[in-house]
């Protein structure tokens, strides 16, 4: 099966607790855990990165649709969060996504944009079955 990225995201960790260097096609970012969990808060934690993917995908998808429709909607902000609960022995994750428009929109636009937000690629991934295939490799 073909992968989505031409070059995979790669990450590494040394001996500094929780500090992870993440590299993608154009740069590097640091992920870390908050101080209260033993990290130094040098970058976003894994949950924040996951939520950021949903936020950025939603906003890009909305902007693309709005521009195609030539609607006069300026700034769009988004707030995302996550809760988890154990239900029938399984972890149920619930994502909360609040989209905030800087300009007034009609009810019809609102309904359409909510539908479009649900169609962003990251939403589709998170709302469907997910499988993670893991392998180990050795550098030496």
User: What architecture is domain 45-127?
Assistant: 2-Layer Sandwich (3.30)
DSSP state of 65: H
- Only one residue has tokens 């590494």, namely 12
Provide the residue ranges of all domains of the chain, joining segments of one domain with +: 1-43, 45-127
Q: What is the pTM for the complete model shown?
A: 0.91
Instruction: Give per-residue pLDDT as tens, 68-122.
Output: 999 999 999 999 999 999 999 999 999 999 999 999 999 999 999 999 999 999 9
Phi, psi of 30 (to 5 degrees): -105, 135
107-118 helix and 46-69 helix, angle to the nearest 10 degrees: 130
Q: Could you read off the pLDDT of 36-62 as tens digits, one per residue?
A: 999 999 999 999 999 999 999 999 999
């Amino acid at each position: 099966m073909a992968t989505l990225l031409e070059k995979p995201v790669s990450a590494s960790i040394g001996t500094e607790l929780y500090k992870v260097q993440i590299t993608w096609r154009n740069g590097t970012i640091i992920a870390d855990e908050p101080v209260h969990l033993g990290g130094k808060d040098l970058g976003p934690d894994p949950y924040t990165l996951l939520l950021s993917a949903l936020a950025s995908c939603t906003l890009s998808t909305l902007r693309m649709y709005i521009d195609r429709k030539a609607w006069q909607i300026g700034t769009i902000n988004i707030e995302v969060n996550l809760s988890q609960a154990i239900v029938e022995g399984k972890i149920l994750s619930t994502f909360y996504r609040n989209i905030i428009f800087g300009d007034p929109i009609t009810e019809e636009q609102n309904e359409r944009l909510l539908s479009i937000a649900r169609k962003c690629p990251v939403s589709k991934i998170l709302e469907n079955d997910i499988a993670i295939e893991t392998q180990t490799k050795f550098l030496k």
